[in-house]
Every structure is written in structure tokens, then in C-alpha cells.
């Protein structure tokens, strides 16, 4: 099960490709919400959909991760029906190469590995207030500016996992990675991988 602050419930995952996609969608500032629907009504019968829907800055889209479904999978029809039922703007078809694009994929995995780091309230306030006062800033200047009890970089990553801050991971993680205030608790952030 995958748990994200952008999803209202845990999402079942059956493979690592879907997991990587969900991690990236969670950390992407352009994705506001991730939804999961396990079935859909097609002509009066319930069909398995195992469908993901992302709500982004440019609309709502059903997501088809091509390599994550078996060939000739009847769920393709269910996904199309789900997209219509949920008033999606379309379907984003993703391939493994879209999801596993580097350096974004490795960077997202690295950040996500810090999701269980405990954050002291003072450290949280220090980082968030610094970002609110200075605006978007590089990772190195931010970690050098704040005074925290824990390792500042690990704390920034953990805050990104909960949406309190956003990291621009398109170019990987380095000292110049831009950090900005997030939309914790509400909906933050997926670039259109292959859309």
C-alpha cells in the first residue's frame, strides 16, 4: 500500500513502476491530488479498473502505466470508462522510460527514503519560516542558513514527503536544487511524463 498526503486513502501497488510513479507524483509540485479507484461500472457490470487519477495544474487525468498492466488487459476499457466517469480531461499513457527518467527517478527515491524521519517542531518551524521569509532557495544555501537539531538536508527531504516543502527534482538532487514552501495538508503537486 502506498500512502501519500495527496491521496485520501492508501493506494494498492502491485509493482515497482507504479510505486516510482506515485513517489514522483507525490513530490511533484504540479500534482494537486492523486486518486485511486479499484472498479468502475460498465454497462451495468462492475469491472476491475485499478485506476489512478491525477489532478494537476492543467486538469484531471487518468493514468495508464503501460508496462504495469498485462498485454491485452481488459482493464484498458475500464480505464477509459473511469476517465469518462470521473470527468477527466484525458488519459496520460506512461511507459517505463517516462517514469524512470534520470536523474528525476533516483532523486525522488532518495527523497522518499526519508519519509519516516522524525521532525522536531522547532526544526520544522525553522525550515518553513526560512522559506517563507526568503522565498525559493537552493538546497545548500537553505541547509547552511537554518539551525536545526537534526541533519538539515534529511529534514528538508522528510518535509517534502509530507508536502511542507517542494523540491524541483527534474535535474536531480544537488546543492542547487530549488526548495520552496509547499502546500502541506492541502494538495501540492507530476509533470506530464509522456503526455
User: How does strand 45-56 pair with strand 31-42?
Assistant: antiparallel
- Predicted confidence band of residue 192 (pLDDT cuts 50, 70, 90): very low
User: How does strand 90-94 pair with strand 165-167?
Assistant: unpaired
Torsion of CA 103, 51, 79, 29, to 10 degrees: -40
Omega within 30 of 0 (cis) for the link into 103: yes
Closest alpha carbon to 33 in 2, 8, 55: 55
Say yes or no to pLDDT of 195 above 50.
no
Residues 155-187 have pLDDT tens digits of: 999 999 999 999 999 999 999 999 999 975 333
Which residue's entry shows cell 526560512? 130
Domains of the chain: 16-99 (no CATH), 117-181 (1.10.10)
Query: What is the Cα–Cα distance from 97 to 11, expressed in whole angstroms?
Result: 22
Which residue's entry shows cell 537553505? 142
Closest alpha carbon to 23 in 147, 106, 92, 79: 106
Residues 86-137 have pLDDT tens digits of: 888 999 999 999 999 999 999 999 999 999 999 999 999 999 999 999 989 9
Say yes or no to pLDDT of 189 above 50.
no
Query: What is the Cα–Cα distance from 37 to 177, expressed in whole angstroms?
Result: 34
Average pLDDT for residues 23-51, to the nearest whole number? 87
Amino acid at each position: 500500500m502506498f500512502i501519500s498526503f495527496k491521496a485520501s486513502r492508501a493506494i494498492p501497488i502491485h509493482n515497482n513502476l507504479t510505486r516510482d510513479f506515485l513517489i514522483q507524483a507525490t513530490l511533484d509540485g504540479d500534482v494537486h491530488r492523486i486518486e485511486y479507484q479499484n472498479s468502475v461500472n460498465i454497462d451495468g457490470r462492475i469491472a476491475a479498473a485499478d485506476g489512478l487519477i491525477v489532478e494537476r495544474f492543467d486538469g484531471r487525468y487518468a493514468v495508464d502505466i503501460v508496462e504495469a498492466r498485462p498485454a491485452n488487459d481488459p482493464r484498458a476499457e475500464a480505464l477509459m470508462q473511469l476517465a469518462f466517469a470521473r470527468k477527466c480531461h484525458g488519459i496520460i499513457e506512461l511507459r517505463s522510460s517516462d517514469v524512470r527518467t534520470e536523474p528525476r527517478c533516483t532523486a525522488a527515491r532518495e527523497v522518499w527514503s526519508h519519509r519516516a524521519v522524525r521532525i522536531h517542531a522547532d526544526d520544522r518551524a525553522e525550515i518553513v519560516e526560512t522559506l517563507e521569509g526568503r522565498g525559493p532557495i537552493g538546497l545548500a544555501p537553505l541547509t547552511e542558513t537554518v539551525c536545526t537539531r537534526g541533519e538539515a538536508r534529511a529534514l528538508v527531504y522528510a518535509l517534502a514527503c509530507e508536502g511542507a516543502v517542494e523540491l524541483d527534482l527534474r535535474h536531480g538532487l544537488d546543492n542547487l536544487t530549488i526548495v520552496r514552501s509547499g502546500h502541506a495538508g492541502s494538495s501540492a503537486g507530476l509533470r506530464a511524463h509522456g503526455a
